[in-house]
């Protein structure tokens, strides 16, 4: 039997990881008998393509020189941080992808920290060396410094590097000499990423992710740590609290290309999907029926923000969507809970209002936009931060905020963050730009990005991630100005909007229906 290697790809938003995976798939197409045509694109829902972000981590598998490589694409946004940790549990090593111009970014740091803590071997790919004025050597140094800072072991610091441009389809050891394919990258993976070494013992598999199909219900996905799994096998399912439930495997699938193939048996170290288990959660262990032994479960990030979803009771009821009743909305939210881990939904005292909890503004906005496109109508309240009590003290979530911006506007930005109860922890000059780090309450981050971009003429780059809960920081001023409210139902008229434009910002276009 050939080797199996599982690699997770880590990169900052827009450094090109999904493009890189596309190229690997095209390259390995040569070694596959069952040719499939068409574009192999990982970000397969429309929202992911439009925003250029990966939301749900995905698995793909390719074969190269008798080695099966499972590639796990991870989301880079801290809002989907719950996805990241679970995914790294399935990997043997990580491919760190860095932009040759921008260097390692705050979000890369978040995922890399998790990977190093889990003792995974990093391989570095410096991408986009075709950009003008890029500095691949300096970026290499920066990656080394970052790993050192994050407390990497000596064997992790001794990492291999390739340079290249995924878009132009080449990778090589020297960035000044383009090659004609991405083979050097695959060679590096085969040489440096360790193969999975199975322990002796009976069956153990940690469920690290799940999928949902309308035919078979929930499907458990994970890496088989030891032993084997067969179709029809009786197993025990060990829950988080240590209790176990007996269950039976109906079907097994492994990953092949972008799809899955049904198999009779799975060997240790491979990633597989199990159909037919009832009532499992992420972090449960599939174990031997006679002598079940559990694995360490995974902590999933707690939600930090909530939003109120209610039915649309405005005069435009039923114009945009076809699903408008509270029953429709409840069914849709329940369906989302099946696969969206960091989400929680609570019923309120009224039948047509739901409290939805999520990881952040991005997490919730993706859900709202998806529902809107599917034809649902909802009214939503403004995002609220979840307040908790520890020993009778009210605490709120605090985030780590990094802003990268031109030096001449940094004063204005620091002032804006300070008004929102942010505290500066460091400030460092990088050429013409400043990189400032703050700790700031999550409440203060809501709406900060738009204000920052306005104040810095669109130059600021802002990233943030959840740090911890701390005692409440006091009131944050909401808005400086009032708001314009329409007094009639009807169409917005260009003439009147033109005259009122000096008084405020409009988000309705001329000719739109308003109330």
CATH number at residue 259: 2.40.30.10
Q: How far apart are the first and last CA of the chain?
A: 67
- pLDDT, tens digit only, all 515 positions of the chain: 457 888 888 776 666 666 777 777 777 765 444 444 444 444 445 555 455 454 455 677 778 777 888 887 665 555 555 566 677 778 888 888 888 777 777 667 767 877 888 888 888 888 787 777 777 888 888 888 888 888 888 888 888 888 888 777 778 887 777 777 778 888 888 888 887 777 777 888 888 777 777 777 788 888 888 888 888 888 888 887 778 888 888 888 887 776 778 888 888 888 888 888 877 877 788 888 888 877 777 666 677 788 888 877 666 666 666 776 778 888 888 887 776 667 788 887 877 788 888 877 777 888 888 888 888 888 888 888 888 888 888 888 888 888 888 888 888 888 888 888 888 888 887 777 788 888 888 888 877 888 888 887 777 777 777 777 888 887 777 666 667 777 667 777 777 777 777 777 777 777 677 76
Task: Mark whether 16 and 89 lie in a shared domain.
Answer: yes
Q: Give kind and range of the element (H or E) at residue 492.
A: none
Beta bridge partners of 99: 127
Task: Mark whether 76 and 163 lie in a shared domain.
Answer: yes
* Range(s) of the domain holding residue 446: 395-471
Q: How many domains does the chain contain in total?
A: 5
Distance (Å, whole) CA 4 – CA 506: 56
**Residue 127 in contact with residue 97, Cβ under 8 Å?**
yes
Domain final residue, candidates 333, 357, 385: 385
Collapsed DSSP state (helix, strand, coil) of residue 398 = strand
Give this prediction's pTM.
0.66
Q: Which of 68, 114, 95 is nearest to 164 (CA)?
A: 95
> Three-state SS string across 87-139, please?
HHCCCCEEEEEEECCCCCCHHHHHHHHHHHHCCCEEEEEEECCCCCCCCHHHH
**CB within 8 Å of 7: residues ≥ 6 apart:** 69, 70, 71, 72, 91, 92, 93, 94, 95, 123, 189, 193
Task: Mark whether 412 and 465 lie in a shared domain.
Answer: yes
Domain final residue, candidates 167, 192, 217: 192
Distance (Å, whole) CA 266 – CA 217: 21
Task: Mark whether 172 and 87 lie in a shared domain.
Answer: yes
Task: Mark whether 52 and 122 lie in a shared domain.
Answer: yes
Task: Mark whether 419 and 499 lie in a shared domain.
Answer: no
Domain final residue, candidates 254, 287, 320: 287
199 in a domain, yes or no?
Answer: no
Task: Mark whether 10 and 33 lie in a shared domain.
Answer: yes
CATH number at residue 186: 3.40.50.300
Task: Mark whether 36 and 124 lie in a shared domain.
Answer: yes
CATH number at residue 319: 3.30.70.870
Put residue 132 in one of left, alpha, beta given phi > 0 → left and psi -120 to 50 → alpha: beta
Task: Mark whether 73 and 183 lie in a shared domain.
Answer: yes
Task: Mark whether 154 and 260 lie in a shared domain.
Answer: no
């Amino acid at each position: 039997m050939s080797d199996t290697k599982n690699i997770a790809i880590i990169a900052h938003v827009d450094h090109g990881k999904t493009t890189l995976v596309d190229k690997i798939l095209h390259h390995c197409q040569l070694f596959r008998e069952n040719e499939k045509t068409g574009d192999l694109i990982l970000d397969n829902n429309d929202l992911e393509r439009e925003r250029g972000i990966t939301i749900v981590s995905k698995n793909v598998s390719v074969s190269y020189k008798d080695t099966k490589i499972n590639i796990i694409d991870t989301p880079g946004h801290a809002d989907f941080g719950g996805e990241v940790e679970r995914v790294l549990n399935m990997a043997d090593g990580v491919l760190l992808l860095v932009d040759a111009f921008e260097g390692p970014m705050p979000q890369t740091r978040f995922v890399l920290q998790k990977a190093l803590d889990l003792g995974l071997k990093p391989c570095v790919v410096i991408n986009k060396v075709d950009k003008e004025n890029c500095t691949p050597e300096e970026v290499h140094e920066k990656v080394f410094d970052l790993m050192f800072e994050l407390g990497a072991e000596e064997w992790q610091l001794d990492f291999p590097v390739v340079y290249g441009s995924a878009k132009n389809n080449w990778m090589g050891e020297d960035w000044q000499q383009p090659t004609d394919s991405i083979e050097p990258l695959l060679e590096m993976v085969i040489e440096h990423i360790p193969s999975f070494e199975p322990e002796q013992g009976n069956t153990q598999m940690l469920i690290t992710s799940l999928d949902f199909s309308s035919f078979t219900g929930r499907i458990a996905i994970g890496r088989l740590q030891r032993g084997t799994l067969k179709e029809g096998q009786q197993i025990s399912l060990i829950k988080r609290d240590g209790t176990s439930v007996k269950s039976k495997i109906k079907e097994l699938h492994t990953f092949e290309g972008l799809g899955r193939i049904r198999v009779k048996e799975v060997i240790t170290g491979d990633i597989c999907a199990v159909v037919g288990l009832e009532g499992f959660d992420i972090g449960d262990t599939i174990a031997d029926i006679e002598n079940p032994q559990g694995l360490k479960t995974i902590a999933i990030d707690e939600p930090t923000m909530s939003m109120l979803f209610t039915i649309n009771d405005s005069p435009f009821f039923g114009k945009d969507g076809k699903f408008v009743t509270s029953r429709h909305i409840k069914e849709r939210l329940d369906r989302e809970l099946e696969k969206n881990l960091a989400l929680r939904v609570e019923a309120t005292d009224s039948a047509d209002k739901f409290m939805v909890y999520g990881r952040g503004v991005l997490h919730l906005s993706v859900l709202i936009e998806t529902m809107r496109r599917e034809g649902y109508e909802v009214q939503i309240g403004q995002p609220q931060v979840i307040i908790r009590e520890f020993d009778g003290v009210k605490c709120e979530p605090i985030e780590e905020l990094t802003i990268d911006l031109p030096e001449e506007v940094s004063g204005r930005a620091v002032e804006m963050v300070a008004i929102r109860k942010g505290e500066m922890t460091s400030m460092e000059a990088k050429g013409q730009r400043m990189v400032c780090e703050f700790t700031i309450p999550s409440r203060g981050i809501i709406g900060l990005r738009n204000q920052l971009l306005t104040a810095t003429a669109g130059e600021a780059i802002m990233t943030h991630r959840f740090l911890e809960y701390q005692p409440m920081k006091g009131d944050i001023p909401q808005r400086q100005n009032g708001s314009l409210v329409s007094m009639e139902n009807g169409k917005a008229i260009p003439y009147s909007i033109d005259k009122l434009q000096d008084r405020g910002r409009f988000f309705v276009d001329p000719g739109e229906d308003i109330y």
